[in-house]
Structure 1
């Protein structure tokens, strides 16, 4: 398996992965992703900013993660642990259901954390759906601290928990 920067021609395969994830989550009564999100436009912006990475196995895209320096306005209501100076924000972490449970998400997160350390970021910030207990536990086991919640009206009536990990060299 390898991780590389995504290119525009990868987006359709990335969407196949995220749609498969959304379908699996719906089967589990987790209504985190829907027809509005994630979408082609979000991934295209990620590619244009060179912030989207894909995980490949045998040259097949099986996962993705966005590592961004842009702070979404919705995060302004959170009392973060570090000042807004040099953070990365993780978005759209996905592993195709056929490859879940094999350490792929761990690999993507370790890549993002190493990227942040190598580029002297102070912390990593992210959000995850409050009803996706598997994700909540995943981030908390990695040491991320829950700081508050935000709502994405086009996604769910339930909150998304915001997390931060302070990086130490």
Structure 2
């Protein structure tokens, strides 16, 4: 486990960095979520259904910014977390400033585990377990996803505004992290 987290324990689950051996399962989980969203008329992650991001998902795993949540041998959820802006973050949030910000991407819960509050609990777990002297948790979602926009507000994220990227409007959210010990950059 890298120094981002104080513990790898997440209730009955374990959180760890994804390895290249996890890539197929992570891609399948993300595509499953994208398919469910598409079936509901929500175009978030639709590019995943066209295999446009498979190599980027593998590259994120190789860079050490992808994580998985497991229940023994079963994949429960996945997410990307980094305190370095990628090109997408720069497009939405602008140039990095002095604040220590952690960017969450591709947070997805496997269909076998939906409805149990795992996504909400994971967002709260980040707040309690990211090793940072101070900082912000940031995430975004497509603006026309009312369920996800409401969900982020209900988990204590503050709506910052909208940004345009690749022809779509995205809602930006952030939450102040409580003060803890320092973290090394990744």
Q: TM-score range by the shorter chain?
A: 0.7 to 0.9
Q: Which residue of 1 aligns with 2:103?
A: 89
Check whether the contact 1:123–1:166 (CA below 8 A) recurs between aligned residues.
Answer: yes
Q: Which residue of 2 aligns with 1:11?
A: 23
Q: Deviations over 1:19-63 (max 9, x none)?
A: 110111111100111235772232223223322111112311121
Check whether the contact 1:88–1:124 (CA below 8 A) recurs between aligned residues.
Answer: yes
| 3-state DSSP of counterpart to 1:63 | strand
**Count of residue pairs brought into register by the alignment:** 162
If the length of structure 1 is used for normalisation, what is the TM-score? 0.84
| 3-state DSSP of counterpart to 1:35 | helix
1:74 has 2:91 as partner: yes
Distance 1:111 1:44, change over 3 A: farther
Q: Which residue of 2 aligns with 1:102?
A: 116
Q: 1:26 aligns with which of 34, 38, 46?
A: 38
4+ runs deviating over 6 angstroms: none
Q: Deviations over 1:57-77 (max 9, x none)?
A: 231112111111122221344
1:64 has 2:78 as partner: yes
Q: Which residue of 1 aligns with 2:137?
A: 124
1:166 has 2:176 as partner: yes
User: What is the root-mean-square deviation in Å for CA atoms of aligned residues?
Assistant: 2.2
If the length of structure 2 is used for normalisation, what is the TM-score? 0.77
- Give, in whole Å, the separation in 2 of the partners of 1:141 and 1:17: 24
| 3-state DSSP of counterpart to 1:111 | helix
Unmatched 5+ stretches in structure 2 = 1-12, 180-186
- Give, in whole Å, the separation in 2 of the partners of 1:125 and 1:35: 22
